[in-house]
Structure 1
Amino acid sequence: MPVPLVDLAPWFEGTPEGRAAVAAQVDLALRDSGFLLITGHGVPAELRARTRELSRGFFALPEEAKRRYAVTVGGRGWLPPGVEANGYAEGTETPPDLKESFSAGADTETGDTEADAFWFQPNAWPAEVPALAAAASEYMDRMRALSDELLTVFAVALGLPEDHFTRHTGHPTYTFNINWYPPLTRVGAPEAGQFRIGPHTDFGTVTVLDRQAGVGGLQVCAADGRWEDAPFDPDAFTVNIGDLMARWTGDRWRSTRHRVLPPDASAPEEDLVSLIFFYETDHDARISSLAPPLGHTRYPEVVAADYLREKLDAITLS
């Protein structure tokens, strides 16, 4: 199951040959594994490093300070240990994921009171780390632009109009989760079946991940069920599609199971911070499968927000 490295520079250079070559590489990657690494994306390394470092400042705060920002899955603020178990999304009962998160996201209201109350909540930036708001907001702006560019690549890869997907992202929902995976010395030995993030598929259209390499790191599930360590390149983002995009393409592309391994006794002090941007669509977008020969499976049409809310509810622990 290859997870290829794709350089986006020829796409951004804009020649027909370069754009076609990148689109073909992306199509092959998403058909084979559902994952790829991308370079040439234009996101400054300094912004990535600054956002991660400021996030560490938040996670290092005393619990009573972080508790002021505590929320549950789908909220804006601190997700404490014990509130989420991703394995439940695929119907597997697992212990809570061994992580803490700080969650932000789209916060520009639509005027739809019900939608705004959940999907476009105000972000709750910690006063104790005042610079985090600006860094994370800039990062999200970069991620939204990159995600829309990837959706354009996706459309070209399928021979569709360039705006086939982005016409549904005029006012999109998205979530930026900053995950902290504490060391073994802090969380203790994991329970049976417990992971930093349990096996799951993502839920939306495209996920853009800035990760750190580690012993307790990301694994991707091959089509034959084998778990393999995801390759790492410090300059690259890890990109994968989620369930909505797989449905949209009629399973031409794979929404692939993945997990983050628990902390390992061989690296008891290892702690990692991942910057994860989950991109979706307009909350009221209707997702219908592409017909053959592009698509292979015809799914019932779903409203994006309804589908996503069901998944988020599934992974939420009371």
Structure 2
Amino acid sequence: MNAIASIDLSRWRAGGAAAAEVERAVDDGLRRAGFLLVYGHGVPEGLAAQVRTAARRFFALPDAVKEQYAVTVGGRGWIGPGKEANGYAEGTETPPDLKETFAVGAHTPVGDARVDDVWFLPNVWPAEVQELRELTTAYTDAVRVLSDELLALFAAALQLPANPFRDLAARPTWTCNINHYPPLNVVGAPEPGQFRIGPHTDFGTVTVLDREPGAGGLQVYTEEGGWADAPYDPAAVTVNIGDLLAYWSGERWPSGRHRVLPPQAEAPEEDLVSLIYFYELDHDAVVTPLPPPIGRVAGLPPVVSAEFLRTRLDAITIG
């Protein structure tokens, strides 16, 4: 059996025995790997492909043009090559990740500049690719609905009497990174230990990934099997849980550890674009870990979402 479980949300929505079966599969799958392959996700067919096409137009622009939209990690706009090394989040020293990113995020300010200037920055849209705004907004709206449904499913999978995320994600922070992984014949031979994205776990609750398969693609780590290529199906999205949700579960579910391989010598022209939606909670949400017997670890203290996330974002920023 593949370590990554496949589930169909339409079966969960149907209720009854089908829903119970999905809930068991979710719990088993997340305990193994922190990853799921999700069908019936409800994101409009073809929308991700349209976003990807528009993003490629942006990434093809000269660097001098993209620099107009340049930001640091956690900002809204273009995060150029050499700015990020995800391996540092878990203490693994790696060269910079071989990618560039266009990032957007939640813009629902609360009126406190100390909060808004970190978590609810205005999005910046390139004038050169005007369709990117409408397409990306439609995509992130759809994936937020999916993310809320996944959190409800996860609560049900643990047989909780109510969904705690209704109150914890009323005005959540989130980011959507459109990652471009250039080909080998553009970036050159990787340095030792260099990846498109170094080994790491995500930081929030749910990550929804729409990706293109490739030789230099996604790998997932499990204690039983080590590193292995992640399964891919164009009809499904890849979902993993992050550190915040793993902590909430009392470490019952591991945060999904993963990496994206560097461009491979046998595929020097492979050029990939991935859409990665990182969902979190309200910036001031207090997360109280589930105690045993649901959680595995007793006595874990509550944490505030924004404080928990900030330390991890700072760790992966270069410079």
TM-score interval, normalised by the smaller of the two chains: over 0.9
Contact 2:32–2:222 under 8 Å retained in 1: no
| Alpha-carbon distance in 2 for matches of 1:226, 1:40 | 29
* Residue matched to 2:316: 315
Could you state the TM-score of these two structures normalised by the residue count of structure 1? 0.97
Deviations 1:227-286 (A, max 9, x none): 101011011100010000110001111112110000001000001000000000000011
* Residue matched to 1:276: 276
The amino acid that maps onto 2:260 is V
* Residue matched to 1:184: 184
Deviations 1:210-230 (A, max 9, x none): 011000000011114611010
How far the C-alpha of 1:300 sits from its partner, in A, is 2.3
Deviations 1:180-208 (A, max 9, x none): 00000000000010000000011000100
How far the C-alpha of 1:117 sits from its partner, in A, is 0.6
* Residue matched to 1:165: 165
The amino acid that maps onto 1:130 is Q
Deviations 1:153-176 (A, max 9, x none): 001111113421232000000000
Contact 2:209–2:277 under 8 Å retained in 1: yes
How far the C-alpha of 1:45 sits from its partner, in A, is 2.0
| Alpha-carbon distance in 2 for matches of 1:225, 1:235 | 25
Identity among equivalent positions (%) equals 60
Name structure 1 gaps, 5 residues minimum.
Answer: none
Is the aligned partner of 1:61 residue 2:57?
no
| Alpha-carbon distance in 1 for matches of 2:162, 2:192 | 46
| Alpha-carbon distance in 1 for matches of 2:222, 2:253 | 13
The amino acid that maps onto 1:147 is S
* Residue matched to 1:305: 306
Could you state the TM-score of these two structures normalised by the residue count of structure 2? 0.97
Contact 2:174–2:279 under 8 Å retained in 1: yes
| Alpha-carbon distance in 1 for matches of 2:27, 2:178 | 28
Contact 2:35–2:238 under 8 Å retained in 1: yes
> Equivalent residue of 1:256, what SS?
coil
The amino acid that maps onto 1:25 is A
Is the aligned partner of 1:139 residue 2:147?
no
The amino acid that maps onto 1:311 is R
The amino acid that maps onto 1:11 is W
* Residue matched to 1:236: 236
Contact 2:216–2:264 under 8 Å retained in 1: yes
* Residue matched to 2:154: 154
The amino acid that maps onto 1:3 is I
> Equivalent residue of 1:189, what SS?
coil
* Residue matched to 2:48: 48
> Equivalent residue of 2:185, what SS?
helix
> Equivalent residue of 1:66, what SS?
helix
* Residue matched to 1:126: 126
| Alpha-carbon distance in 2 for matches of 1:6, 1:226 | 23
> Equivalent residue of 2:36, what SS?
strand
| Alpha-carbon distance in 1 for matches of 2:21, 2:89 | 35
| Alpha-carbon distance in 1 for matches of 2:73, 2:293 | 38
* Residue matched to 2:203: 203
How far the C-alpha of 1:98 sits from its partner, in A, is 0.1
Number of residues of Structure 1 aligned to a counterpart in Structure 2: 317
Contact 2:217–2:260 under 8 Å retained in 1: yes
* Residue matched to 1:91: 91
> Equivalent residue of 2:219, what SS?
strand
* Residue matched to 1:113: 113
Contact 2:110–2:116 under 8 Å retained in 1: yes
* Residue matched to 1:79: 79
The amino acid that maps onto 1:302 is V
Q: Which moved more, 1:291-300 or 1:51-60?
A: 291-300
Contact 2:156–2:163 under 8 Å retained in 1: no
The amino acid that maps onto 1:221 is Y
* Residue matched to 2:248: 248
Runs of 4+ residues over 6 Å off in structure 1: none
Q: 1:162 to 1:138 in 2, by over 3 A?
A: farther
| Alpha-carbon distance in 2 for matches of 1:39, 1:60 | 32
The amino acid that maps onto 2:48 is R
* Residue matched to 2:27: 27
| Alpha-carbon distance in 2 for matches of 1:171, 1:205 | 14
* Residue matched to 1:295: 295
> Equivalent residue of 1:68, what SS?
helix
How far the C-alpha of 1:18 sits from its partner, in A, is 2.7
